[in-house]
Amino acid sequence: MEKDKWRFDIAIGSGTLGQSTLSWRDNMLFQLPITYFTAADQWSNSTAYPDNAVFNRTISSRCLECHTTFAKTISPPDETPEKFDGNKIIYTVGCEKCHGPAAEHVKFHLQNPNQSKGKYVINPASFSRQQSLDMCTLCHGGRLQKSTASFEFVSGDTLSKYFKIDTAASEPSNIDVHGNQFGLLRSSKCFALSNTMTCITCHDAHENERGKIKVFSERCITCHNPQHQNLCKLISTIGPSIKENCIDCHMPFKPSNVVEVFLPHSNNPIPALIRTHYITTYPEESKKILSLMKNLN
């Protein structure tokens, strides 16, 4: 590859917020300076890049730990930037991220096609609350500082064996809505008062439920109901339809201070709007919802 040309080799991101691009060079990965920003339906600079094109942002194994299922590092442990074996990467976040390495599972069931019970895979449904939270916190717990090599943590293990974990809950206003969803959830009264609530209490990892407000609201109602004497106080104003949208009032979209981009011909950064996982009351958001419903009626 010519030294002045950088190819789009890998795209990362679901596309909901956008997609960023990576390029291989000498077994190293570099983030390219442009990103597709979905909210504006156009290309922009990559987050935290200056307004001119530079090509010096290397990708670490910790980056890949959240954006791939596995990547093989071939450089010495203390060498930076890290180098990777491009033939030993499992792209995207796949089944093995939560269910563990599956080679033995595949081998066993190919040899035993009539065996219906899965072997050699991990079943997160059997996890304790902490095991479940650790599984999700690996990628949704903010900038965790690792104490061992990346990709050594396997679902079901204890995250603190591999990362330095801050056990003190931070002030929610100091947590950005991007990246540390667990930090925001942990600060929520819902979470603090529960002995069982985890990420998968509300999220089904096997279904694409993005944007299904009613589905998530129904999960809120399993706890916030007359039987538990903690139904939303606005039910007398909104009526039964309140059960169809708890989310916009109590988990509204908030601008990220981390994910913001400059669009062409603009000098002002545009932040990504991301739904907060700090579950609480937002009076201004409630006013918007009530106003909207009044206009619809």
The predicted-structure confidence for 3-51, as pLDDT tens digits, reads as follows 578 999 999 988 888 999 999 999 999 999 999 999 889 999 898 887 7
pLDDT confidence of residue 42: 92
Structural domain contains residue 112: no
Sign of the CA dihedral 64, 66, 69, 70?
positive
> Where does the pLDDT of residue 228 fall: very low under 50, low under 70, confident under 90, or very high at 90 and above?
confident
What is the domain extent for residue 63? Answer: 1-97
> Where does the pLDDT of residue 242 fall: very low under 50, low under 70, confident under 90, or very high at 90 and above?
confident
Which residue would you say has higher pLDDT here, 97 or 47?
97
- The span from the CA of 97 to the CA of 53, in Å, is 34
pTM for the complete prediction?
0.90
Structural domain contains residue 111: no
Which among 80, 97, 114 is the end of a domain?
Answer: 97
Residues 172, 85 within the same domain:
no
Strands (E), 55-161: 68-73, 84-91, 145-146
Which residue would you say has higher pLDDT here, 241 or 173?
173
pLDDT confidence of residue 3: 58
Structural domain contains residue 191: yes
Structural domain contains residue 51: yes
Which residue would you say has higher pLDDT here, 286 or 153?
153
pLDDT confidence of residue 276: 97
Which among 70, 97, 124 is the end of a domain?
Answer: 97
Residue 105 has pLDDT above 90, yes or no: yes
Which residue would you say has higher pLDDT here, 276 or 263?
276
> Where does the pLDDT of residue 175 fall: very low under 50, low under 70, confident under 90, or very high at 90 and above?
very high
pLDDT confidence of residue 1: 47
Question: What is the average pLDDT value for the chain, to the nearest integer?
Answer: 91
Number of domains, the chain: 2
Structural domain contains residue 113: no
Structural domain contains residue 103: no
Which among 97, 123, 154 is the end of a domain?
Answer: 97
> Where does the pLDDT of residue 235 fall: very low under 50, low under 70, confident under 90, or very high at 90 and above?
confident
- The span from the CA of 297 to the CA of 288, in Å, is 14
